[in-house]
Structure 1
C-alpha cells in the first residue's frame, strides 16, 4: 500500500489562516479530500495521512470528519493542547476515534526551548499510553531542544517533519547535518522526506539542490525510518504534486523495490499504526 504520510486539508479562512500571506495566493482557497483524491489516484497512492495546520481542536474534529467520510484518509495527526492541565482528558476524548493517530504542535512558531517546558513535556509523556505518535515541526535552530526531548521519552514514537526544515535555499548544511545525524541515532525517531521544495528557492530550484540533504537523511536514518510525504497543498508554492514527488522518486530509483515500498508506504503504516 502506498501512503502519502503528510498533507493538509482546510476550508480557507482569512482570519484563521493569516499565515497564508499575499505571496501565497495559490493556496488561498479550499483544499478538501475531493481535490486530493484524483491526484493520489493519478500517482498510484492508496491513501494519506491528514496533518493539522491549525492549533485548534475544531480543526482536529474537521480532519477526523474528513477521514470518516473518505476511506483513503488512513489517519489523522491532530492538535491537542499538550500544555493544558486537562490534556489526558482530551486525549481520552480523541482516542475514542481509531483514525486519530498522533499529535502535532506548530513548534516552529515558538521560542527555541518551547519543547522543554515542563507542561509541554507532561503532555508528551501522556501520548504513548494512548499509542499516539508525535510529529516534530521545527526549524534547525530548535533541533538541540528536539534532541533533548526525544532522549527524555525513549518509548514515544517521534517523526521529524520536513527534515527539520534545512536552509536549502541558502545552501547551509553542516550544522543541520550534525544535528539530524544526532537525532537519527535515537531509535524511536523517524523522519519525513517532505516539504523540501518550500525550503528551496521557490521559483528556481533544481533537483540537485536537494540531494545533499537527502544524502544526509538517508545515511542517518536508513530506509527503515523514512516516510514520504507531499506536504500538499503547501508544496504548490514551489511545485505541483508530480514535480515534488519526482524529486524523491528520482533519488530512490536505484533502491530495491522492497526499500522503495518502505519509504512510500510500509514505514508510514508501521509508524502510524494504520
Structure 2
C-alpha cells in the first residue's frame, strides 16, 4: 500500500487560517480530498494520512467526518488540548473514532523554547502513551533541546518528526540541524517524515541538489525503516507541484532495495500509524 503520510484539508477561513499570508495566496482556498484524488491515482498512491492544520477539537472532528466520506483518508493525526487537565476524557472521546491514530500540536508557533518539556505538556504526552496514540513533532530550532528532553523521558511513546525538522534549506545551513537529527535519531521510538522540503527552500529557484545533503543525513541517521514520504499537500503548492514533492525525494533513494522502497512509500507509514 502506497501512502502519502502528510496531507492537509481545510475549508478556508481568513480568520482561522490567518497563517496563510498574502504571499501564500495559491493556498488561500478550500482544499478537500476531491482536489487530490485523481493526482493520487496518477501517482499510484492508495491513501493518505490527514494531519491537523488548526488547533481545535473541531478540526479533529472535521477530519474524522471527511474520512467517513472519502476512503482515501486512511488515518487522521488530529489536535487535542494536551495541556488540559481533562486530557484523559478528551482522548476517551476520540477513541470512538478509530481512524484517529495520533495527535499534533503546532509547536513551531510556540515562542517558549521549553514548551515540549513543560509539566502540563508532558502530562499530555503520557496520556497519549497510555491511550496508544502517536505524536507528530512540528518544531523549529529553538525547540531542539526541549524536543530531546521530551523524547528522552517518554521512551514508550511513538514520535514522528514532521518535515525533517524544517532545516534551513534556503540558506544551505547544515551543522546545527544535522547535530540535532543525529541526537534525535538515537531514540528508536522516533520516526521521520521526509516531507515539506520545497517550502523550506527558495520557493522560486530551488533545484533537486539543494535537498541532497539533508535527505542523505536523515536516512543515514534514522535508517531506511524509520523514514517515510509525505507531500505536505497543499502547502507544497507554494513551491511546486505535487509531482515535485515526489521528485525531490525519489532520486535520493537509489540504494534502497525493493522492500525498502515499499517501506518508504507506504509500508512504514502503515506500520507506524496502524493503518488497516
TM-score by length of 2: 0.98
Whole-angstrom distance in 1 between the partners of 2:39 and 2:90: 34
Deviation of 1:19 (Å): 0.5
2:13 corresponds in structure 1 to: 13
Q: Which residue of 1 aligns with 2:185?
A: 184
1:97 deviates by 0.6
How much has 1:197 moved relative to structure 2?
0.3
Alignment of 1:1-274 (within 5 A): 1-110=1-110, 111-274=112-275
DSSP-derived class of the 1:223 partner: coil
C-alpha contact 2:134 2:158 (8 A) present in aligned 1: yes
Structure 1 length normalisation: TM-score?
A: 0.99
Secondary structure of residue in 1 paired with 2:49: strand
Map Cα deviations across residues 137-166 of structure 1 (whole Å, 9 max, x no partner). 001221111111001100000010000001
Structure 1, unaligned runs of 5 or more: none
Mean CA deviation greater in 62-71 or 232-241 = 62-71
Once the two structures are TM-superposed, the CA of residue 189 in structure 1 deviates from its matched residue by 0.3
Question: Following the alignment from structure 2 to structure 1, what is the Cα–Cα distance between the partners of residues 255 and 60?
Answer: 38
* Cα distance in 2 for residues equivalent to 1:51 and 1:95: 17
Distance 1:270 1:125 in 2: 21
For 1:144 and 1:161, how far apart are their aligned partners in 2? 16
The list of structure 1 runs, each at least 4 consecutive aligned residues, that deviate by more than 2 angstroms after superposition, is none
3-state SS of paired residue (1:251): coil
Q: How far apart, in 2, do the equivalents of 1:213 and 1:143 lie?
A: 17
User: Match of 2:135, SS?
Assistant: strand
Whole-Å separation in 1 of the counterparts to 2:236 and 2:144 = 23
5+ long unaligned stretches in structure 2: none
Asked whether the 8 Å contact 2:216–2:252 carries over to 1, the reply is: no
Q: State the number of aligned residues.
A: 274
